Amino acid sequence: MDIKYKMEFFSNWHCGSGLAAGADVDALVVKDANGLPFVPGRTLKGLLREAAYELCSDRSLLNRIFGISGDEQPANDGDCRIGESFFGNATLAEGKAIVGSGLTPHLFQTFASTRIDEKSGIAKDNTLRRIETVVPCTLEGDIKNVPDEGMEVLRQAMQMVKRMGTGRNRGYGRCSITINE
């Protein structure tokens, strides 16, 4: 069975690309070929896996959905196994319209932060960082080939995810994930 879901962000968010823009921005958002932000399927899969392991004791079912990494295997069996389910990227539903209207640059905001010395109250040297974020928006994605008995586990796991991406503990990435019925 396939799941189509909606991911609604209520605050700016940042899923990092691992790239920087030289002296301008230290951390860029991951973008597709059209320059639009997206949430990688592997990011969602990791958060849902963590939540599902809290919710469900049926490891056999969870292994079928998510697969098994080398560190989860018994000591004598170091093989990895791919899960049955495929977690696609979450993309902007209105992406084509945004690109066609030339509005892509308005999806992004850059924020600066620095570390302040507790004793002197002065910014510490070499701590100014700038991060690119995406404005609150709604994305859509799908998870393919979910075992029927795994549907409810994933629904509950989605309800547990309240923040996504970098800076979750600093107010970024507040979100809600719901299944499209």
Q: Sign of the CA dihedral 160, 161, 167, 171? A: negative
pLDDT value at 71 more than 60: no
pLDDT tens digit string along 79-90?
678 889 999 999
Burial 101-140 (b: 16+ CB within 10 A, else e): eeebeebbeeeeeeeeeeeeeeeeeeeeebbbbbeebebb
Query: Which helix (H) or strand (E) covers residue 156, if one does?
Result: helix 151-160
Contact 39, 175 (CB under 8 A): no
- Whether 66 has a pLDDT exceeding 90, the answer reads yes
Counted residue by residue, the chain has a size of 181
The predicted structure's pLDDT at residue 26:
59
Q: 126: pLDDT confidence band, cut at 50, 70 and 90?
A: low
C-alpha–C-alpha distance, residues 62 and 38, integer Å: 25
Q: What is the pLDDT of residue 76?
A: 45
Q: What is the mean pLDDT of the chain?
A: 86
Q: What distance lies between CA 9 and its chain's CA centroid?
A: 11
pTM, full prediction? 0.83
The residue among 1, 38, 36 whose CA lies nearest residue 16 is: 38
**Would you say residue 113 has pLDDT above 90?**
no
Tell me if residue 133 falls in helix, strand or coil. Answer: strand
Concatenating the DSSP letter of every residue in 61-94 gives HHHHHHEE-GGGS-TT----EE-S-EEPPEEETT
* pLDDT surpassing 50 at residue 75: no
The percent of residues in the chain predicted with pLDDT above 70, rounded, is 84
CA distances from 173 to 68, 74, 134, 162, 167 (A): 28, 35, 9, 8, 7
The whole-angstrom separation of Cα 103 and Cα 123 is 35
Mark residue 173 as left, alpha or beta (left: phi above 0; alpha: psi -120 to 50; beta: remaining).
left
Residue 70 has pLDDT above 70, yes or no: no
